[in-house]
Amino acid sequence: MTEQTTRPVPRSHDSDHPDVVVSLGTDHHAFDRLVRWVDDCARRRRDLRFLVQHGHSAAPAVAEGTPFLTGEDLGEHMRRARVVITHGGPGTIVQARGAGRLPIVVPRDPELDEHVDDHQLRFVRRLEEADRVRSCVSPQQLSELIDKALASPDGFRVRPSEDDGAERAALRAGELIDLLTSAGGAAETASTETAASTKVATPDEATATATAGDRTVDTWPEVTVVVPTRDRPELLRRTLRAVAGQDYPGRITTIVVFDNDQPDPSLARAGGDRPVRVVTNTLTPGLAGARNTGVLAADTDLVAFCDDDDTWLPGKLIAQVAVMLDEPGTEMVCCGIRVVYDRTEAVRTLDRTSVTFGDLLGSRLTELHPSTFLIRRRAMIGGCGTVSEEIPGSYAEDYELLLRLARRGPIRNVPEPGVRVLWHHRSHFSGRWRTISTALRWLLDRYPEFALVPRGYARVAGQIAFAEASAGRRRTALRWIGATVRNRPAEGRAYLALMVVCGVPAGWIIRVLHLRGRGV
């Protein structure tokens, strides 16, 4: 096969080899996300030479690129490189380790249309736990790992003789998964049988084993998951599959609450062995009423929330319940998130395990997303109350519940991503600026403590200013911009609102923020 190159690439017999070699394999799905990340690193490190074998992905704009390399040339480049980066394909990982390099691996994500399923995500997690790769989930982490590999090269070298039978079995299982997935049909069954025959623990099993300790199945309490929904049938079924796929040893019951929508009784079979109940919102129409309908219908001590467009990662629930079991006084546990927007992904986690009422006044801490909430039902029923149905439009009802629960005691947090959160243009609050402004003003009135925390007050005031500007009410927006700056001149939301007042489209600003995993 004749090689096609985007830029001239030295052959293996040349003495000039790249410092950083990136291999995306030959899969026909584009992996443009990793190409962009590498280009960003190449811009930052002009002293390094990057070579990207990009296959069917877009060619890099800064780094050198070539669609394909022969196995011999790629192996030679890997052997001479200072850093090797690969996608999650088993063959590429095997080649990198065979060349004596511990690869930095970015797995393809099916939710970003980078592969047909999540087997690379699962496979790379397995190898990461076995210390056979260095996995990477964000551009910041990629840059940090490259710097680390350059500073400590011995930590990113391996001797092929070090590979034991367990690793060869794991890699062979991954190769078979790739082969069977591309063949279609019986891929899922065959890959399951392959994993069982090699006796290699999946990451889910490893998480369950490490977290469960000496506990038996009977000691894990039953959990009820409340999923409000409206007009998202396909996303809802994906959410239910993720809940059913949890590695949690105890019983999970899901209550799907239809809000202003016709219930679908067939969903009762969507959870497989995990029971699913389908009910209709009998309280105030909207998200708050739908959540409360589910909470009141639950008969378990532990209640979890999940929105109908989000998905739980496999180890999410067991890690949170373990905290509840170890700390009986804890009433709420959250975890980190992975935000997906327009085929980009950003990891949002807090580097702390405890969050106080004061912390939440100072910052919304959007990492504490409602789809991560695990709450003791008695903390709401007979405690601080259920989700507020007074908030206009149910906007920020999750934040208000966090504030009430944090008043009772610190909220615990698992500083790892446990939920994949989908941000998209069909969001219920997209463009509902007047509702957002009214709800946030209600929040300031209900919690006068914001006046004692200038940073927190400025944040909410800046959000109101942005909403008012986006609604076209310039005079009101300018008043709130002034209130924001008086409390905290460095509050960026004031200047974003001013941009909207001056004619910059609000949608453009929102999109730029969302692409970075942020919001107003």
Which segments of 375-473 does DSSP mark as H helices, in order? 377-379, 397-408, 433-446, 454-470
Low-confidence spans in the chain with pLDDT less than 50: 1-15, 164-167, 169-212, 428-429
Q: How far is CA 114 from the centre of its chain?
A: 16
- Which domains are assigned to the chain? 20-198 (3.40.50), 210-423 (3.90.550.10), 433-515 (no CATH)
Q: What is the helix (H) or strand (E) element at residue 431, kind and residue range?
A: none
The pTM for the full model equals 0.61
Residue 517's pLDDT is 63
In eight-state DSSP terms, residue 66 is E
Tokens 């609102």, located at residue:
497
Quick: pLDDT tens for 219-230.
899 999 999 998
Using CA atoms, how far residue 158 sits from 128, 132, 281, in Å, is 14, 9, 58
Measure the CA–CA gap between 206 and 204, rounded to whole angstroms. 5
φ and ψ at residue 229, rounded to 5 degrees: -150, 155
Residue 23's pLDDT is 95
Question: How many residues are recorded in the chain?
Answer: 520
Residue 511's pLDDT is 77
- Scored b (16 or more CB within 10 A) or e, 391-411 reads bbbbbbbbbbbbbbbbeeebb
Q: What is the helix (H) or strand (E) element at residue 391, kind and residue range?
A: none
Judge whether 109 and 139 are in contact, CB under 8 Å.
no
Residue 282's pLDDT is 93
Measure the CA–CA gap between 377 and 375, rounded to whole angstroms. 6
Residue 177's pLDDT is 44
